[in-house]
Protein backbone atom coordinates (compact mmCIF):
# COMPACT_ATOMS: atom_id res chain seq x y z
CA UNK A 1 0.00 0.00 0.00
CA UNK A 2 0.92 3.67 -0.17
CA UNK A 3 1.33 6.02 2.74
CA UNK A 4 2.13 9.71 3.16
CA UNK A 5 3.94 10.97 6.24
CA UNK A 6 4.10 14.65 7.11
CA UNK A 7 6.44 16.62 9.31
CA UNK A 8 6.64 20.24 10.38
CA UNK A 9 3.89 22.49 11.60
CA UNK A 10 3.49 24.09 14.99
CA UNK A 11 2.89 27.47 16.54
CA UNK A 12 4.29 30.63 14.96
CA UNK A 13 3.74 34.35 15.40
CA UNK A 14 2.16 36.43 12.64
CA UNK A 15 4.76 37.29 10.03
CA UNK A 16 6.75 34.17 10.80
CA UNK A 17 7.61 31.16 8.66
CA UNK A 18 7.14 27.42 8.77
CA UNK A 19 8.07 24.57 6.49
CA UNK A 20 6.01 21.43 6.01
CA UNK A 21 7.39 18.27 4.47
CA UNK A 22 5.69 15.15 3.19
CA UNK A 23 7.12 11.87 1.95
CA UNK A 24 5.24 9.20 0.04
CA UNK A 25 6.34 5.60 0.34
CA UNK A 26 5.17 2.07 -0.29
CA UNK A 27 4.05 0.35 -3.45
CA UNK A 28 4.38 3.39 -5.71
CA UNK A 29 4.40 2.94 -9.46
CA UNK A 30 4.15 6.60 -10.31
CA UNK A 31 3.29 9.89 -8.64
CA UNK A 32 1.01 12.02 -10.79
CA UNK A 33 0.55 14.94 -8.45
CA UNK A 34 1.36 15.98 -4.88
CA UNK A 35 0.35 18.95 -2.84
CA UNK A 36 -1.28 20.39 0.23
CA UNK A 37 -4.79 21.05 1.45
CA UNK A 38 -5.85 22.69 4.68
CA UNK A 39 -8.93 22.71 6.85
CA UNK A 40 -9.74 25.38 9.38
CA UNK A 41 -12.31 24.83 12.16
CA UNK A 42 -15.82 25.02 10.79
CA UNK A 43 -14.63 25.28 7.19
CA UNK A 44 -14.30 22.90 4.29
CA UNK A 45 -10.96 21.48 3.25
CA UNK A 46 -9.38 23.69 0.59
CA UNK A 47 -6.50 23.35 -1.83
CA UNK A 48 -3.41 25.32 -0.81
CA UNK A 49 -0.86 24.34 -3.44
CA UNK A 50 0.00 21.43 -5.71
CA UNK A 51 2.57 20.24 -8.20
CA UNK A 52 2.11 18.23 -11.37
CA UNK A 53 4.96 15.85 -12.02
CA UNK A 54 4.42 15.51 -15.75
CA UNK A 55 4.08 19.19 -16.59
CA UNK A 56 5.94 20.75 -13.67
CA UNK A 57 2.97 23.08 -13.23
CA UNK A 58 2.48 24.66 -9.82
CA UNK A 59 -0.91 25.85 -8.59
CA UNK A 60 -1.69 28.01 -5.58
CA UNK A 61 -4.77 29.25 -3.81
CA UNK A 62 -5.15 32.99 -4.29
CA UNK A 63 -4.94 33.50 -0.55
CA UNK A 64 -1.37 32.14 -0.37
CA UNK A 65 0.15 33.37 -3.63
CA UNK A 66 3.37 35.25 -3.04
CA UNK A 67 3.71 33.88 0.49
CA UNK A 68 3.81 30.09 0.11
CA UNK A 69 6.07 28.04 -2.13
CA UNK A 70 5.50 24.37 -2.99
CA UNK A 71 8.35 22.22 -4.19
CA UNK A 72 8.84 18.55 -4.89
CA UNK A 73 11.64 16.04 -5.24
CA UNK A 74 10.55 13.50 -7.80
CA UNK A 75 13.33 11.07 -7.00
CA UNK A 76 12.36 10.96 -3.34
CA UNK A 77 8.59 11.32 -3.80
CA UNK A 78 8.46 14.25 -1.45
CA UNK A 79 6.66 17.57 -1.43
CA UNK A 80 7.43 20.57 0.77
CA UNK A 81 5.49 23.70 1.56
CA UNK A 82 7.44 26.76 2.59
CA UNK A 83 5.11 29.20 4.29
CA UNK A 84 6.25 32.79 4.81
CA UNK A 85 4.52 35.91 6.08
CA UNK A 86 2.02 33.79 7.94
CA UNK A 87 -1.21 35.37 9.11
CA UNK A 88 -3.79 34.14 11.63
CA UNK A 89 -6.09 33.15 8.77
CA UNK A 90 -3.54 30.50 7.82
CA UNK A 91 -4.32 28.61 11.01
CA UNK A 92 -5.57 25.16 10.04
CA UNK A 93 -4.74 21.49 9.87
CA UNK A 94 -2.62 20.98 6.79
CA UNK A 95 -2.90 17.73 4.86
CA UNK A 96 -0.45 16.39 2.34
CA UNK A 97 -2.05 14.59 -0.58
CA UNK A 98 -0.86 12.59 -3.53
CA UNK A 99 -2.50 11.32 -6.70
CA UNK A 100 -0.52 8.12 -7.00
CA UNK A 101 -0.54 4.97 -9.07
CA UNK A 102 -0.12 1.88 -6.93
CA UNK A 103 2.03 -0.74 -8.62
CA UNK A 104 -0.14 -3.51 -7.18
CA UNK A 105 -3.12 -2.57 -9.31
CA UNK A 106 -1.92 0.30 -11.54
CA UNK A 107 -4.93 2.30 -10.47
CA UNK A 108 -4.97 6.02 -9.69
CA UNK A 109 -5.96 6.90 -6.14
CA UNK A 110 -5.71 9.90 -3.84
CA UNK A 111 -3.80 9.33 -0.64
CA UNK A 112 -3.72 11.63 2.40
CA UNK A 113 -1.29 12.30 5.17
CA UNK A 114 -2.39 12.33 8.78
CA UNK A 115 -2.53 16.12 8.99
CA UNK A 116 -0.38 18.57 10.90
CA UNK A 117 -1.57 21.58 12.88
CA UNK A 118 -0.37 25.04 11.95
CA UNK A 119 -1.32 27.80 14.37
CA UNK A 120 -0.51 31.44 13.71
CA UNK A 121 -0.99 33.51 16.82
CA UNK A 122 0.72 36.10 18.93
Q: What is the pLDDT of residue 105?
A: 84
Long-range contacts of 110-115 (CB under 8 A, 24+ apart): 111/2, 111/3, 111/4, 111/24, 112/4, 113/4, 113/5, 113/6, 113/22, 114/5, 114/6, 115/6, 115/39
Q: Which residues pair with 71 in a beta bridge?
A: 80
**Res 106 pLDDT > 90:** no
pLDDT in tens, 62-95: 999 999 999 999 999 999 999 999 999 999 999 9
Name the 3-class secondary structure at 90: helix
Q: Which residues contact 88 (CB under 8 A, 6 or more apart)?
A: 14, 120, 121
pLDDT in tens, 9-41: 999 999 999 999 999 999 999 999 999 999 999
Amino acid sequence: HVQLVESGGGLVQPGGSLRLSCAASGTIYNVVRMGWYRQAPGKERELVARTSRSSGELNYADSVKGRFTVSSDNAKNTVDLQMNSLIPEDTAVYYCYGLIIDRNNLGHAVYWGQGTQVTVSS
